[in-house]
Structure 1
Amino acid sequence: MNTKDRIIEATFLLSLEYGYNNVSIKQIKNKCNIAASSIYHHFENKDEILSYLVDKYIMSIIDYERDHTKDLDVSLMKKLEINFYYAIGIDLLNNKKPLIIEGNHINTKKYYLMFTGIYHQNPEYRNLFSEAIEDILNFFKELIEEGKDKKEIREDINSEKMSLFIYSNMRGTIEIWLNSDYEPETLIDSNLELIEKILQ
């Protein structure tokens, strides 16, 4: 891994623990075991690291999620189940192992809390979050269209509206899971059951 990637990864891991705005350049250099001048060689300031961090660690999750499921020879509902579980950090295709990013086991609750903090405290980067949401919605639209082509679901389903509905359910699942004692399986099963009834 090159120095630039090491800096981004270190910032990400430190931000999971302390929140991005609480991480200092000193902590980053210590984590990487490099001089501060090496950081400034690659990045003008800490905020420039943030744009790389958001792009890499949000978009990489979405790209992996898409690549992880798009070519599976399973039903639409199974693909949605895999994606709902993946959204809370459980990899159904890998014996329910926790999410791994760049070789690091990730606490998904910390991941969401970190990015929620970044979203609220750094509004200049909200466009990256909007792009991520659009990518997810487009991915769900593709899955729905594929389901219609395979005659798994009703042909009159509006793909755009249904992708919004599915994503809203997924986000709701995440929010309740983050802020309650509900088991994720209960939340996911309830939402998928409702989605399946609508699709049929």
Structure 2
Amino acid sequence: MDQLNSTKNRISSVAWKLFYEQGYEATTVDQIINECGISKGNFYHYFSAKDDLLNTLSDIFDDEYTKIMSILDDDMNSFDKLIETSKYLFRFIEESVPVELLSILYSSQIVKKGKKHLLDQQRVYYKVLQQIISEGQRRNQIRNDKSFWELAKIYAIQERAVLYDWCICEGNYPLSSYGIELLEMFLKDIKID
């Protein structure tokens, strides 16, 4: 990894650690800078404000999708693979991402002008969905009457709906079990039995 990405990733990692430990609102740019051992100029080279760090959560999620793809059984039914990737991410969120932070990320994507990182089709997330859905269509496990991009969009919408609901309910139900039940119910029509 080159020095630029290394510094940017270190800033992101330190920021998310502090967000987790003391909350987003209570964490200051100065604390992030001090913890990283960098100058203010170095911080502002990568991020124009603390709010910009919210967009790096999608990168963290993409890292988790990369991990799950490396451990999924190739012979698993493709629809089940989709559900398993969500279950893995939901468990990660429950254990590592406070509801407050996920809520702030979602609200920033709604009110902020400019690039919507959660919708960026170049993300690992969409590449994973494309891979699994295309495989499922070839195996006749996922419906073929819609393109894989249409199905990926439907899947992403339903997954975001569950995550959004979990946020507005302040995490009062288990995401990795009840959230997955909801997701499976919403998406049952894309599966071929």
In the superposition, the TM-score normalised over structure 2's length comes to 0.70
Contact kept in structure 2, 1:137 and 1:163, CA below 8 Å: yes
**160, 164, 182: which is aligned to 1:190?**
182
Distance 1:160 1:109, change over 3 A: same
Residues 1:128 and 2:132 are matched in the alignment: no
Residues 1:115 and 2:117 are matched in the alignment: no
Residue type of the partner of 1:143? I
Identify which of structures 1 and 2 has the higher relative contact order when contacts are C-alpha pairs closer than 8 Å and 6+ apart.
2
Residues 1:141 and 2:135 are matched in the alignment: no
**18, 39, 42: which is aligned to 2:23?**
18
Give a deviation string over 1:96-139, Cα, whole Å, max 9, x none: xx469xxxx62352441242354467535x34343268653443
Which residue of the partner structure matches residue 73 of structure 2?
72
Aligned residues: 182
Residue type of the partner of 2:182? S
**62, 81, 84: which is aligned to 1:82?**
84
Q: How far 1:69 moved relative to its partner?
A: 2.1
Q: Structure 2 regions of 5+ residues with no counterpart?
A: none
Which residue of the partner structure matches residue 59 of structure 1?
59
Distance 1:82 1:39, change over 3 A: farther
Distance 1:195 1:133, change over 3 A: farther
Distance 1:59 1:163, change over 3 A: same
| Distance (whole Å) between structure 2 residues aligned to residue 4 and residue 174 of structure 1 | 27
Q: How far 1:65 moved relative to its partner?
A: 0.4
Q: How far 1:174 moved relative to its partner?
A: 0.8
Sequence identity of aligned pairs in percent? 15
CA-based RMSD of the aligned residues comes to 3.6
Give a deviation string over 1:53-77, Cα, whole Å, max 9, x none: 4564322422430452266321112
| Distance (whole Å) between structure 1 residues aligned to residue 60 and residue 78 of structure 2 | 22
In the superposition, the TM-score normalised over structure 1's length comes to 0.68
Residues 1:151 and 2:147 are matched in the alignment: no
Residue type of the partner of 2:89? A
Q: Structure 1 regions of 5+ residues with no counterpart?
A: 91-97
Distance 1:162 1:79, change over 3 A: same
